[in-house]
């Protein structure tokens, strides 16, 4: 079994430089996948955060070309 590093919402907010409500909006709209554990705790795989960042960079690069 592969151990995947999980990040808390707070850690992801800091990495993405967004607020918690913005992160929750991204998650609910399906832009980034998070896992609800227990009643309120949401965790994100580090690889999913990296995927999201790379996707955002791709969008930035495309708009710069226009």
pTM (predicted TM-score): 0.80
Q: 6-65 has which CATH code?
A: 1.10.1660
Over residues 19-66, the pLDDT tens digits come to 999 999 999 999 999 999 998 899 999 999 999 999 888 765 554 454
Task: Please enumerate in sequence order all residues whose Cβ is within 8 A of that of 52, keeping only pairs 6 or more positions apart, or say none.
Answer: 16, 26, 31, 32
Instruction: Assess whether pLDDT exceeds 60 at residue 1.
Output: no
Tokens of 2: 């592969």
Q: Would you list the DSSP string of the chain?
A: -----EEEHHHHHHHHT--HHHHHHHHHHTSS--EEETTTEEEEEHHHHHHHHHHHHHHHHHHHH-
Instruction: Report domain extents, the chain.
Output: 6-65
* Among 6-10, 12-16, 39-43, 56-60, the least confident range: 56-60
């Amino acid at each position: 079994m592969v151990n995947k590093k999980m990040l808390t919402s707070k850690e992801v907010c800091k990495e993405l430089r967004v607020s918690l409500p913005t992160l929750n909006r991204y998650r609910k709209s399906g832009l980034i996948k998070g896992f609800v554990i227990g009643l309120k705790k949401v965790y994100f795989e580090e690889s999913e955060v990296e995927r999201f960042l790379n996707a955002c960079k791709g969008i930035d690069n495309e708009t710069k070309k226009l």
